Structure 1
Amino acid sequence: MDAEPQEITNLVGREVYSKNGVFVGEVEDLRLDLDAEVVNGLAVSALNPTLFESEETGSKGVIVPYRWVRSVGDIVLISDVIERLKNDEDEENLLA
Structure 2
Amino acid sequence: MNAAPEEITSLVGREVYSSNGVFVGEIEDIQLDLDARAVTGLALAELNHELFAGQVSGSTGVIVPYRWVRAVGDVVLINDVIERYDAGESEEEANEIEARPESR
Flag whether TM exceeds 0.5 (same fold).
yes
Q: Equivalent residue for 1:94?
A: 98
Counterpart residue identity of residue 91, structure 1? N
Cα offset, 1:84, TM superposition:
5.1
Partner SS state of residue 16, structure 1: strand
Counterpart residue identity of residue 8, structure 2? I
> How many residue pairs align between the two structures?
95
Between the two proteins, what is the percent identity of the paired residues? 60
Gaps of 5+ in 2: none
Cα offset, 1:82, TM superposition:
1.9
Counterpart CA distance in 2 for 1:31 and 1:77 is 17
Counterpart CA distance in 1 for 2:35 and 2:13 is 25
Counterpart residue identity of residue 99, structure 2? L
Q: Equivalent residue for 1:56?
A: 55
1:32 and 2:36 aligned: no
Say what the alpha-carbon RMSD is for the aligned residues.
1.7
Q: Deviations over 1:11-30 (max 9, x none)?
A: 00000000000000000000
Q: Equivalent residue for 1:82?
A: 83
Gaps of 5+ in 1: none
User: TM-score if structure 2 supplies the norm length?
Assistant: 0.82
